[in-house]
Structure 1
């Protein structure tokens, strides 16, 4: 099986509102990767390793933004608010369709 390569959070259609993009945004929140890292060209194994790091970082907070300390909660809010605005500008609609 050929190794999948990630296109990058900035290249995903619909404003990158996907589980992989959320892992990347969470990695930005926790400072695991810099906010200018799009993960373009990363293998699926490397994305999985990032997911594992993000999961460990979330664990003390129960994976809930409301439990983050104020500095991380503010960073989370900034990153996700900007992502939602970009996604809506790109045509993303948060409502689920019949087949979702």
Structure 2
């Protein structure tokens, strides 16, 4: 029952600037224009995040879930959004080595 009321803290408050699976969903939703680029999803319920995940998954489908298959405009937006996210995360102490798997 408690799980039902859990909410996402938002990209700004998520671990290491959102370098989490949920953060990736939010950024991908921004890339595909499913949400505005300034939407952090703070306070969203698990159900709302799941619904967003489903939309993101559908958006990736035509491209085989590969950045290299995105059309140039989406690839450029992906690079801009993810480069900014990586820079913020590194400023907060994130490193890819934190996740050896």
- How high is the TM-score relative to the length of structure 1? 0.94
* Structure 1 residues 75-97: Cα deviation after superposition (integer angstroms, max 9, x where no partner): 00000000000000000011145
Among 75, 78, 84, which residue is 1:73 paired with? Answer: 75
Q: Which runs of 4+ in 1 moved over 4 A?
A: none
Which one has more relative contact order, counting CA pairs under 8 Å at least 6 apart?
A: 1
Report the alpha carbon displacement of residue 16 of structure 1 after superposing the two structures with TM: 1.4
Q: Which moved more, 1:4-13 or 1:82-91?
A: 4-13
What SS does the corresponding residue of 1:58 show, helix, strand or coil?
Answer: helix
2:18 aligned residue:
16
1:27 aligned residue:
29
Distance 2:40 2:58 in 1: 21
- How high is the TM-score relative to the length of structure 2? 0.93
Q: Which runs of 5+ in 1 are unaligned?
A: none
Q: Which runs of 5+ in 2 are unaligned?
A: none
Among 58, 62, 73, which residue is 1:56 paired with? Answer: 58
Distance 2:89 2:66 in 1: 22
Distance 1:13 1:68 in 2: 28
